[in-house]
Amino acid sequence: MRRKSLTETKPDFRKLPQEFYTRDVLDVAPDLIGKNLIVRMNDNTCRSFQLTEVEAYRGEDDKACHASKGRTERTSVMFGIGGHLYVYLIYGMYWMLNIVTGEKDNPQAVLLRGAQGINGPGKLTRELGIDRSFYGENLVTSTRIWLEDSGQRLDYKTGPRIGIDYAGEYWKSVPWRFYI
């Protein structure tokens, strides 16, 4: 019987590499559909969540993107290289989990809106135990959160992004929401 290759036996052989994130957000966002988000819980067990819904926020021109108001302390991680987490609190209750993409000084991120069995970005982070402490986390080197290829390529739909009425007609209408 054929011996498994080294890469096949390594436990993290499916982990998405830096190159996955260092691309334009409009390429990364649809590629995230069907990927598995792995989180190490407080009891040290790992849980896997297959992503079903994401949204792209792209650059300083995009009026819906937090980076459109310029660099602030909160948004600074978006101005760095892709592969880090942008986490912030909204409405005093819900943590939003975003994956920074692209090259340095080109602020972009993907909002994770849902996973299999979980609809809604606030419910997703509550289920995963995401909070402030995950801000800036590196998905390539972290031992408590990362992404893996599921080996599946799933069909997805596109549509306008949710909850950005303030962004104006054009940015409200661009189909940068990707979902199963």
Partner DNA sequence: TCAGTGATTAGG
Partner DNA sequence: CTAATCACTGAG
List of residues contacting DNA (CB under 7 A): 55, 57, 64-66, 69-70, 72-75, 86, 88-94, 96, 98, 109, 111, 120-124, 161-164, 166
CB of 163 to DNA, least distance (A): 2
Q: Alpha helix locations (H) across 22-177?
A: 25-32, 121-128, 169-173
- Which residue, 73 or 155, has its beta carbon nearer to DNA? 73
- Which residue, 116 or 152, has its beta carbon nearer to DNA? 116
- Distance separating alpha carbons of residues 47 and 25, to the nearest angstrom: 26
CB of 69 to DNA, least distance (A): 5
CB of 62 to DNA, least distance (A): 9
Judge whether 40 and 143 are in contact, CB under 8 Å. yes
Judge whether 25 and 81 are in contact, CB under 8 Å. no
Give burial (CB, 10 Å; 0-12/13-18/19+) of 80. middle
- Which residue, 16 or 97, has its beta carbon nearer to DNA? 97
CB of 157 to DNA, least distance (A): 17
In the chain, the amino acid numbered 168 is G
- Which residue, 20 or 176, has its beta carbon nearer to DNA? 176
